[in-house]
Amino acid sequence: MPKGKLSTIKNEKQYEALIKKGMSKEKAARIANTPDSGKKGGGASKYETRTKKDLYEQARKIGIEGRSKMTKKELIHSIRNS
């Protein structure tokens, strides 16, 4: 980030790592700005065991468009590939 400019990225270290892996700045920022960005633990449940409502909320958090018309299977696919 340029000096004097406030960062809107919550997890700068993760953001920079994602950019180095080849992700777009927009996608890296979405991931680095999620509430649990950079946290480890592996305690998340599998997408298939979550409710459609939970998947919808996750899709909303990461900015997936068209989520309101998606099936559970489509939400899972979109989340995994965002």
User: Count of domains in the chain?
Assistant: 2
Per-residue pLDDT tens over the stretch 8-23 = 888 888 889 889 989 8
pLDDT for 1 beyond 50: no
In this structure, the answer to whether residues 79 and 53 fall within a common structural domain is yes
CB environment 48-67: b (16+ within 10 A), e (fewer): eebeeeebbebbeeeebeeb
Confirm whether 66 is domain-assigned. Answer: yes
Residue 44 lies inside a defined structural domain of this protein: no
Domain span at residue 31 reads: 9-36
> Would you tell me the crossing angle of helices 72-80 and 52-61 to the nearest 10 degrees?
30
Residue 74 lies in a domain: yes
In a domain, 20, yes or no: yes
Q: Quick check: pTM over 0.85?
A: no
Evaluate whether residue 41 is within a structural domain.
no
